[in-house]
Structure 1
Amino acid sequence: MSVIEHASQNESPAAREFLSFRIGAEEYGLDLLSVQEIRGYEPCTLMANSPNYVKGMVNLRGIIVPIVDLRVRLGVPDPSYDALTVVIILNLQGCTGTVGIVVDSVKDVVALTTEQIRPAPEVGGGIAADALLGIGTVDGDMVILLDIEKILSGIGIGRFNRRAA
């Protein structure tokens, strides 16, 4: 039984849907409502003086969209780009606006009830504790649930969401 079939059988009014994806050996999830589309990775226009995790920008149907390599942002060393590498285009409500994030691969859409989400343990390093929504479990597998707006906030990319001339 797939994760989607399992989730739909156990769905309750309190279930939230997450897009799960892989970065390295770990599985992460973000709120499905923030996802606009999923695209294959393609090189983008570089932006001068940008942080190493900002790969550049693309023109997406007239909107200039900054592309952030989430793998680099989360501290994964030496990310590789292959046929499975994708860009998830997000439409975020905060000051960030539309942004693309590069991940190793997209896995599934997962519906999780509040009973399937546990608080994330407080550990040092990588991701700030307030940027984690919790740890979801599906059939014994863990999914690290990210508050993507908090992870991307404060990196100064909102100014690029303008219409292309």
Structure 2
Amino acid sequence: MHRILLIAAALVATPAFAEANPQIDYPGFQMLTASVAPARAGRLLAFDRFQAEAAKKGTLLLDARSKDAFAAGHIQGAVNLPLTDFTAESLAAVIGADPNRPILIYCNNNFSNDRAPVRVKAAPLALNIQTFINLVGYGYPNVWELADVVDYNDAKVRWVKG
């Protein structure tokens, strides 16, 4: 299944075509994704370091999952802004005036439970990837991502329901 997706993605990515909608820029997205990849590789944090960074004053722990998933459970201290609601204005309202503010992100695929509210997504479509790309694309370069897979029932996670 993953091979089919990768082959289909390669076929879609290669043809030269003019985008019919001037508000959609797939080649621009491809360039952004390629430029973000090296930075992201160095921004993956082990769980203990992720927690230590989250405890620092001024750091934003951002949960980009849906409002329903967030309400069903999230890491203590997280702020919710669903990826589908990302705009320049909504991000500025949540992140604040400093574009270099440290932002920590996590997603469903950081949890081993694979049940609501953290159903595991297809690995190439994990929300962390999209969130990282979007944050950098909107001008927030100081993004850090939880690298580990943890059980949200582990007391160290400090999982909050509701």
What is the TM-score of this pair, normalised by structure 1? Answer: 0.25
Richer in strand (by share): 1
TM-score (norm 2): 0.26
